[in-house]
Amino acid sequence: MEHREIYLAGGCFWGIEHLMQQLPGVVEAQSGYANGSGAAEANYRAVCGGDTGFREAVRVVYDPARVSLEALLLAYFYVVDVTVAGRQGPDVGSQYQSGIYYEDAADAAVVERIAAIERAAAADFCVEIGPLRNFYPAEEYHQDYLQKNPFGYCHIPREEMRLLAALRIDPGDYVKPAAEVVREKLGRGDHNEKAATDR
């Protein structure tokens, strides 16, 4: 079965990239700039200016025989605060807007189904959902940043990354919001509910 791709924006791309790299079945995770003005402005300086429309995003290449799109989205939604626009954690700016961008109708159907579950559980739902218009890889120093700098900045707690990498998610599990699915998988109820609401 051939590899597939999905594009995920969720705050600083260092964290989403590193999270995806931890998940079995992910073949490649590449930081970059998605759905912005064009190649001329696809660079960190321009994107941080806030006028390019680009989102810091991660191109996730995965083997669908080993990991489902549902499992990737569950990990994504567990670490992203869906209720805020133009920020994640302490990172504020249009480039940090959360979003999920797909390339074909089959993925669109899965993304829309999962987004509907998460939307129903949120007072506000601010994640952009739509087709990928463009994607440009970020500068080399951004790639594999947290592998190169293990103690570098990350808005996603490392413990959550380890937790999600260890879970085995069946696509059929995702009929409830990610936080509920993870709580049930771990059997830790209150502890994880607090962790999810503290973000």
Judge residue 123's burial from the number of C-beta atoms within 10 Å of its C-beta, 0-12 exposed, 13-18 middle, 19 or more buried: exposed
How many angstroms separate the Cα of 47 from the Cα of each of 4, 38, 51, 95? 27, 11, 7, 7
**Strand, coil or helix: what is 174?**
coil
Q: What is the rounded distance in angstroms from the CA atom of residue 192 to the CA atom of residue 194?
A: 5
- pLDDT(193) > 90: no
Q: What is the rounded distance in angstroms from the CA atom of residue 45 to the CA atom of residue 35?
A: 16
Provide mean pLDDT across the span 181-198: 60
Q: Which long-range contacts (CB under 8 A, 24 or more apart) does 170-173 make?
A: 170/68, 171/68, 171/70, 171/71, 173/70, 173/74
CATH hierarchy code of domain 4-198 = 3.30.1060.10
Provide mean pLDDT across the span 84-101: 97
How many angstroms separate the Cα of 146 from the Cα of each of 62, 73, 75, 150? 20, 21, 18, 5
- At residue 188 the predicted structure's pLDDT band, cuts being 50, 70 and 90, is low
122-171 pLDDT tens trace: 999 999 999 999 999 999 999 999 999 999 999 999 999 999 999 988 88
Provide mean pLDDT across the span 40-52: 96
- At residue 198 the predicted structure's pLDDT band, cuts being 50, 70 and 90, is very low
Provide mean pLDDT across the span 93-119: 97
- At residue 88 the predicted structure's pLDDT band, cuts being 50, 70 and 90, is very high
> CB atoms < 10 A from the CB of 176, how many?
15
pLDDT of residue 1: 72
Specify which residues 6 forms β-bridges with.
Answer: 60
- pLDDT(197) > 70: no
Degrees to nearest 5, angle at CA 46 with 132 and 154: 75
Domain boundaries, the chain: 4-198
